[in-house]
Amino acid sequence: MTSRERVLSALNHHETARIPVDFSGHRSSGIAALAYPKLRRALDLPPAPTYVYDVVQQLAIVGEDVLQRFGVDAVELGRGFALRPDDWTPWTLPDGTPCLVPAWTRIEREPHRWIIRAQDGTILAQMPDGALYFEQTCFPLAEEHGPRTVREALNRTMWTAIASPPGPVDHEALRAGARQLRASTERAIIGLFGGNLFEIGQFCYRNDNFMMMLAGEPGKAHAFLDELMEIHVANLDRFLEAVGPSIDIILFGDDLGMQTGPMMSPQMYCEFFKPRHQLLWNRAKKLANVKVMLHCCGGVRELLPHLIEAGLDAINPVQISCRGMDAAELKAEFGKDITFWGGGCDTREILISATPKQVAEHVRRQVEILRPGGGFVFQQVHNILANVPPENIVAMFDAVNA
């Protein structure tokens, strides 16, 4: 069974002899660039340049030797792009380690911070000295003299304007790169689309403003989301026309949960977001032979029935430390209807502070809960952070199929 077959079997709720594993297959299952060289040393692998493909989150490209060592079964579409030396430019990580970042990223040094600018010169994001990630600084639709359209606003928010590979490529280059990646790997390929709805409202208006809009100005919120949907549907059509035959999973994003539960009531989700998610997800399945996955952090148990009804096939990262996200309860209640792409290792407490033995024991318990009947792809809960001990990372992956 190939890696692709293994992943697709899990998504179709068939249990496989070996549990499929994801590590860096999307931008919420990766590893901080600061942690990656330490992991390579712990694995006795030769030194290699650190490529920071997601500058906002400071995530490293994981090398083929590491993917093979951990038996990884999925790969991000972006790994088929930015393959030339001139696609990258030297930079320095916060601890002084040299690295490379995409050449198109407009990173500048100012006193006491790094900044990233938009094409029009607007400062989109900053990373103050002592910080490990970039944070958003521009909320364009909250500004008195900001852009007037959603399309203009998307060029001035950190998460939508700072591109990771595939990066700024035209339609034909996107198609060709996707085909080449498909021909070069037997891993399942994840195409990151995004299609965020709730989050783009937060990116554009700021979280507090957008939440008040949903509650107090529903007409304005619907008008914003309708304009956004026009953009998403057109982009989805173009994206899948180019890469649909080359990918297995299309990844959407919308963080709907907090540590204590959903950010909104099921009623609010059903009014503003469920019909729009359903349109996007069903359209994706009509346009290509893909499974639909949603990246959705936090406690979202109350929303899961609606996400399933809207057409969702898989959810990640399955944040098991949140209220209502007990793995055994989720598996019993929803395991026949959705794939849990994650929940394999808690990154909030276990991975960062437990011993390797404790990490392995925790992983084995999670696997015992989530594996039966398929519908489970192993990944840790979100990205591996900069201060995670490398021996814990090794213990985690070695325990999955031990």
Residue pLDDT, tens place only, 45-89: 999 999 999 999 999 999 999 999 999 999 999 999 999 999 999
* CA-only gyration radius of the chain, Å: 20
364: how many CB neighbours lie within 10 A of its CB? 13
pLDDT in tens, 192-206: 999 999 999 999 999
- For 255, the token pair is 């963080």
The identity of residue 107, as a single letter, is: I
Residue 402 pLDDT: 87
pLDDT of residue 374: 97
How many of the other CB atoms lie within 10 Å of CB of 259? 13
Residue 143 has pLDDT above 90, yes or no: no
Q: How far apart are CA 378 and CA 18, in angstroms?
A: 11
Mean pLDDT value of segment 350-378: 98
Beta bridge partners of 251: 192, 293
pLDDT-derived band at 145, boundaries 50, 70, 90: confident
CB 230 within 8 A of CB 276: no
d(CA 284, CA 63): 30
Q: pLDDT tens, 238-295? A: 999 999 999 999 999 999 999 999 999 999 999 999 999 999 999 999 999 999 999 9
The whole-chain average pLDDT of the chain stands at 97
Angle at 227 between CA 221 and CA 231, to 5 degrees: 135
Q: In angstroms, what CA-CA distances link 268 with 214, 254, 256, 264, 308?
A: 8, 14, 11, 6, 16
pTM: 0.97
Q: Are 140 and 156 in contact (CB under 8 A)?
A: yes
> Cα–Cα distance between 245 and 290 in angstroms, integer?
9
DSSP-assigned letter for residue 86: G
pLDDT value, residue 147: 85
Which is nearest to 32 in space by CA: 116, 93, 109, 98? Answer: 93
* pLDDT for the residue numbered 272: 98
Contacts of 49 (CB under 8 A, 6+ apart): 98, 99, 100
CA dist 301 and 324 (Å) reads 6
Strand order across the 314-316 sheet? 74-76, 188-194, 249-253, 291-295, 314-316, 339-341, 376-377
Summarize the confidence of residues 10-14 as an average pLDDT. Answer: 98
**Length of the chain in terms of residues written:** 402
What does 35-67 look like in DSSP terms, one character per residue? THHHHHHHTTPPP-PPBEEETTTTEEPPPHHHH
Which domains can be identified in the chain, with CATH numbers? Answer: 3-29+70-84+163-400 (3.20.20.210)
Q: Tell whether the torsion through CA atoms of 158, 160, 161 and 166 is positive or negative.
A: positive
The span from the first CA to the last CA of the chain, in angstroms, equals 18
CA distance 167 to 81: 8
Q: What is the reported pLDDT for 102?
A: 98
Q: For the segment 83-134, what is each residue's pLDDT rounded down to a tens digit?
A: 999 999 999 999 999 999 999 999 999 999 999 999 889 999 999 999 999 9
Backbone angles phi, psi at 262, to 5 degrees: -65, 150
List the structure tokens of 85: 């030396």
